[in-house]
Amino acid sequence: SPNDRILSIGQDESKAGVEVETPEGIKKLEADYIVGYDGANSQVRRSLFGDWEFPGFTRTKTSTNTATKMPTSLSTRSIGTWHPESPKMACGELPAKFERIFPGHPKPDKCKLANFSPYKVHQRLAKKMGVGHFLLAADAAHLCNPFGGLGLTGGIVDVGGLFDCLIGIHKGNADASILDKYDEIRRWKYSEVINLISTENIKKLFGQNPDTAIENDEFLKLCKKTETDPVFSKEFSR
């Protein structure tokens, strides 16, 4: 259940086991295979490789996701913002920023900050997608910045591939070596697609002069063109 926490793991040649803290007390569970999809701080990954063994890096800037009530809409908008020093300072700058960038240039007293949640941005890939009878999927195995929407989607593809591997083993159509393929292909996809594309995307934020980006960046130039060219705008949105 959502309240259960994996505390520790163990395995032998034929099965995996976890010790889980539940509202009813500590339980021990066993299975042929156990998949750790327990997020960025994965206890399963930490237990397999060590607490600080998650190769990659963390960006120094803090990102803050804010929920902001806008006058132009009845809904609350979620907006990402960055600040080199602190998330609180990022939020403090928001009203002036919104006045500058949003349609109608709403005055600071027209936007209400409903919530904010700071997070750190990582690019990291586990040493392997599993060891023996333990497997990793999604954020437990790899992290990327949110620009491009490749975090959750990468995790979904992990799970789809892993499901096929485990069904293959269960039905006797494959042996355990297929899990090496899972490791090889998903780590390759992270390195060649998720990491590369998300890194290129974040460079658009930090890797260029914000005052001239709209004139120099090829993608931003296309975005700008949608303002004045309705035919291109329709094509671009596909």
Question: Footprint of ligand FAD on this chain (CB under 6 A)?
Answer: 4-6, 37-39, 43, 65, 119, 138-140, 146, 149-153, 155
Minimum distance between the CB of residue 63 and ligand FAD, rounded to whole angstroms? 7
Minimum distance between the CB of residue 133 and ligand FAD, rounded to whole angstroms? 17
CB atoms under 10 Å from CB of 65, counted, come to 15
Q: What residue number has its CB nearest to ligand FAD? A: 151
Nearer to ligand FAD, 4 or 99 (CB): 4
Minimum distance between the CB of residue 234 and ligand FAD, rounded to whole angstroms? 23
Nearer to ligand FAD, 139 or 183 (CB): 139
Nearer to ligand FAD, 5 or 181 (CB): 5
Nearer to ligand FAD, 114 or 152 (CB): 152
Residue 158 CA to residue 48 CA, distance in Å, equals 18
Q: Pairing between strand 130-131 and 134-136?
A: antiparallel
For residue 67, which of 78, 83, 81 has the smallest C-alpha distance? 78
Minimum distance between the CB of residue 77 and ligand FAD, rounded to whole angstroms? 13
Minimum distance between the CB of residue 30 and ligand FAD, rounded to whole angstroms? 16
Contacts of 196 (CB under 8 A, 6+ apart): none
Minimum distance between the CB of residue 212 and ligand FAD, rounded to whole angstroms? 27
CA dist 141 → 31, 127, 133, 159, 190 (Å): 20, 8, 15, 11, 10
Nearer to ligand FAD, 130 or 155 (CB): 155
Q: Roughly what angle, to the nearest 10 degrees, separates helices 151-170 and 178-189?
A: 170
DSSP string, 160-205: HHHHHHHHHHHTTSS-TTHHHHHHHHHHHHIIIIIHHHHHHHHHHH
Unique residue bearing structure tokens 């690019």: 123
Residue 138 is classified by DSSP as: G
Nearer to ligand FAD, 148 or 168 (CB): 148
8 A C-beta contact, residue 120 and residue 63:
yes
Nearer to ligand FAD, 49 or 110 (CB): 49
For residue 81, which of 98, 69, 57 has the smallest C-alpha distance? 98
Minimum distance between the CB of residue 216 and ligand FAD, rounded to whole angstroms? 26
